[in-house]
Structures are given as structure tokens and as C-alpha cells.
Amino acid sequence: MKRIICLHTLTPDQIAKIEQVAPGYTVTVAKSTDISSETVSDAEIIVGWSKHIVESALEANSKLKWIQTWSAGVDTLPLKRLEQRGTLLTNSSGVHAIPIAESIFAMLLSFSRQLHVAVRNQAEGKWEPKLASAGALTLTELRDKTLVIAGVGEIGRETARLAKAFGMKVIGVRRSGKALPDVDQMYTMDGLHEALSHGDYIVSILPLTDETHHLFDSSAFGAVKPGACFINVGRGPTVDTPSLLEALQTGQLGCAGLDVFEEEPLPVDHPLWKMPQVVITPHVAGSTDRYTERVVDIFVQNLQAYVNNQQLPRNLVDYSREY
């Protein structure tokens, strides 16, 4: 009997759904810290990933042929070793589109209507109708503002759709430069700085690759429209943190909404915590009570193709691009 391991909790119905698609396989559901190395090396398919199973999964006698990650990003996986083994790798791109797009707009609306300032004033019992915070935008509207989206994949497309509903102009930046609905103007990555110069609000949804590491540096922040708002829901290391701090301190950036950081958890003494123009969330923008069902849907669709010796139709990672 061939084995599928899932490192995340599944309902009995979800397990049955997987078994129905792949009747020749047994499904093992366990935490990475509770599963034996023998069981890991016996698995042909692993759903999820963990540092605790790396050596067992990649040993010479491992039966591993395919990994379906639980996340959209794959930067924490040993990509070179997986590529050398010829291991198929699929991610969970698309699972996060709705919750992250809504998290982006939670931040956009917080900054445009200064809700983050009101909440802080509430905690101190302060009645302050001006709702002004150092360096932050004053009370304004999203309508007619320009939103720049760096990394227009599934999340970016959903964000653009919502932005148009708010009457915003949308500028996109993506590797291919290919036009998309709801994006008024699209740039390639070479045009990032030009795109940034037009944005009232800038959202980074970029994956972490060699190309995007510290892409948002002092040069990039120097290119933004003074006082613009920056939101990062992609990957923390795409941003050079000292350059971000400097841009916030000088007012080059008016505010920032940050869900991801170069170092996580963000150290308790980090100056970002106390900046009144910054909203911090602990890498939860993609969290939703519908997460598991969406990952399972992607996996089952791919599994159906896999057992029929067909190319996996959803989210096959290109090792050369690292996503």
C-alpha cells in the first residue's frame, strides 16, 4: 500500500475524499513531531512540510515523489535538494486570495479613516476628533487614489478587483508584465520604481526569491510618492528593514501596514512596535476558517491527475523561478 502523509489536521470527510480519489493509498495524518522517520521515508506524497522531517523525507531510500505545501510560499523548503531529486512540488497559491485581499483593505481603510489612531485613543480614553498621528495621512478617501500592487498573482487580482469597487486606480507590477482585468496599467519588475512613484498606497505581495530579496530598499522607498502608505503581506525579507524604518522616520512613507517581517516574531524592543503610523499583524493575513478546505480542494484536484499519470494542473512550482 502506498502512503500519503498529511502534517495538518483533516476531518474524516476530507480523509475519505482523498482516499476515494486515490484508492491505492493509505492516508496518515499526524504532527511532524509525532511521526516516525520510517513513516516519513515510506511516504510517496507529503501534504505540508516541516523542518522536523527534512532528513527522513530526503534520505536516499525515501519514496517521496511529490510535496503539496500548506502555504503559498516555498522559500523555507530545500528547493535545490528537491529539484535534484526530481520531486514534484505544488503550493497552495489561491487559498489566500480572499483573506489576504480583505486584510489589505482592512489596513487601507484603517489608514484612510485613521481607525488605528482612534483605537489607540480609545484605550487611553482620549476624545480627539482630528485623529492625527505623526507622519500619517489625515482623514481621506480611497476613491480616486492610486494603488500599486507589486506581485499580481491570485491575491493581487482579488485586491485589484476590490480596489476598482472602491473607485481606485490600480497599477500592477509583475514579472511577465501581462495585462490583467481591473489593473489599469501593468509594469514588469524593471518598472517597479516608476510604478512606485505613482502610488498613494503600495502593496507588496511578492514571493521571496533571489530576485526579490531586499527589493524594497532605500532606493525603492526613495522612489515612492512622499507620504505614501506601504503594506507588506508577501514576505518579510523582500523589505530591507532599516530602509523601511528610515522612510517612516523621515516621512517619505506616511504609514505602513506590516504582516510579515525579516525576523519573526518581531523582537519586542523593535522600534516598529511603537511607531504610531504603523499597524502590525503577526503573519495572519492569510488565515481563515476556510483554509483547510481550500488546500484539500487543490490537493484532491492534483491527486486525481497524479494517480492517472497526468501533469498536475494546480500550482506546480517552477524550481528555476522558486515559485
Q: How far is CA 88 from CA 30, 39, 65, 67, in A?
A: 22, 19, 6, 6
Active site residue 283: yes
Of residues 96, 116, 174, 235, which has the active-site annotation? 235
Q: Report the C-alpha gap between 2 and 210 in whole angstroms.
A: 36
285, 293, 292, 301: which is closest to 90 by C-alpha? 301
DSSP 252-295: SEEEEEES--SSSSPPTT-GGGG-TTEEE--S-TT--TTHHHHH
181 Cβ neighbours under 8 A, 6+ residues apart: 157, 160, 161
At 149, the amino acid letter reads I
Question: How is the beta sheet containing 66-68 ordered, strand by strand?
Answer: 25-29, 2-6, 45-47, 66-68, 88-90
Of residues 211, 264, 290, 321, which has the active-site annotation? 264
Of residues 161, 198, 283, 314, which has the active-site annotation? 283
Active site residue 3: no
Q: Report the C-alpha gap between 197 and 316 in whole angstroms.
A: 34
5, 314, 274: which is closest to 154 by C-alpha? 314
38 Cβ neighbours under 8 A, 6+ residues apart: 56
Active site residue 235: yes
Handedness of CA 84, 92, 260, 223 (dihedral sign): positive
Kindly state the cell numbers that stand for 290.
476556510
242 Cβ neighbours under 8 A, 6+ residues apart: none
Contact between 231 and 107 (Cβ < 8 Å) = yes
Conformational region of residue 20, where left means phi above 0, alpha means psi within -120 to 50, and beta covers everything else: alpha
* Catalytic sites, residue numbers: 235, 264, 283
